[in-house]
Amino acid sequence: MKKYAFGVDIGGTTVKMGLFKTDGKLLDMWEIPTRTENGGKFILGDISEAVYEKLSEKKISHLDVEGIGMGVPGPVGADGTVFKCVNLGWDIFNVEVELSELTGMRVKAGNDANVAALGEMWQGGGRGCKNIVMITLGTGVGGGVILDGHILPGENGAAGEIGHLPMSDEETECCGCGKKGCLEQYASATGVVRMTRKYMEAHPQMHSTLRSIEKLTAKDIFDAAKAGDEIALKMTDETGRMLGKGLASIACVVNPEAFVIGGGMAKAGGILLDSVQKYYRSYAFHAARDTRFCLAALGNEAGIYGGVKLILD
């Protein structure tokens, strides 16, 4: 094993990069802009340039680098083939081969949510476990599945798309994916706000402090629930029910040691997580009922940690 490795997390606006020792110690972290113009053709060249600039700055030879591990915002096959990344302008190509040719280093790539889950298993909230499911609750609902210490990518890199579990046949509005009734429509930050507005419209007689908030957010709803607001409590409970039911379905398939909950909504803390766990245990198969729940610990750095773990494996 060589002394150093790079972790890279490609986002639609910036590329997060980290220089690590191969024992997991983060030595330096920085960002570069994600240049998505011209079909994103500059992105890999910019990453290669940034890697060599950092090596020069730290006086490290590229021969001492184990490789570059990378999270990509889209489905990635086991051989490194990207199956289109709309936010980057990428079509179908092998990202590992192209970046390896640019850098002269070994490259491994995976879907960004899966790679972040790998990081949380290695050095974050799931540390000590080999089988975890990570759920990120933000504008959408993302996820990653780690089995026996390795990412489960699926045939086309689409494993772990937890937000698109079908939850309701009665839904009339479309999810961003084009389907109706996805978990994301009920358990994301935007989903919680959407459901709360619908509930308030359907129950005009119920008093709520949320009615006076013009630009309602998920944080407003959870804060109001903590203060005892009846509608906020009802919607927090419903969010927990939908998440608990979805996770119980996942546990029937992969039986993880732990669910690691991250993303902005995780900051709601116990009022949401207690509800999720309550409903999870009521829906879960008996052998999976005691699965541990824990909070993600690495925040926005999970992707670069996971990238390094990807190359070390």
Structural domain total, the chain: 2
User: Do 157 and 263 lie in a common domain?
Assistant: yes
User: Do 289 and 308 lie in a common domain?
Assistant: no
User: Do 140 and 230 lie in a common domain?
Assistant: yes
User: Do 307 and 263 lie in a common domain?
Assistant: no
CATH number at residue 68: 3.30.420.40
Mind listing the pLDDT tens digit for each residue in 256-300?
999 999 988 999 989 999 999 999 999 999 999 999 999 999 988
Decide which of 241 and 139 is more confident: 241
User: Do 147 and 236 lie in a common domain?
Assistant: yes
Decide which of 112 and 192 is more confident: 192
Beta strand spans in the chain (E): 4-10, 14-21, 26-33, 65-72, 81-85, 90-94, 107-111, 132-137, 141-147, 150-151, 258-262, 292-295
Return d(Cα 96, Cα 106) in angstroms, integer.
8
pLDDT at 176: 85
User: Do 145 and 91 lie in a common domain?
Assistant: no
User: Do 170 and 114 lie in a common domain?
Assistant: no
Mean pLDDT of the region 244-250? 97
* Cα angle for residues 34, 142, 272 (degrees, 5° grid): 125
Which of 60-69, 75-84, 86-95 is most confident?
60-69
Instruction: Inform me whether the pLDDT recorded for 153 exceeds 90.
Output: no
- Which structural domain, as residue segments, surrounds residue 116? 4-122+301-312
Looking only at the bridges linking them, the beta strands covering 150-151 and 141-147 are: antiparallel
User: Do 143 and 272 lie in a common domain?
Assistant: yes
User: Do 192 and 112 lie in a common domain?
Assistant: no
pLDDT at 156: 72
pLDDT band per the 50, 70, 90 thresholds, residue 188: very high
User: Do 265 and 306 lie in a common domain?
Assistant: no
User: Do 195 and 89 lie in a common domain?
Assistant: no
pLDDT band per the 50, 70, 90 thresholds, residue 77: confident
Q: Name residues whose C-beta falls within 8 Å of residue 204's C-beta, 6 or more positions apart in sequence.
A: none
How is residue 70 written in tokens? 């990378």
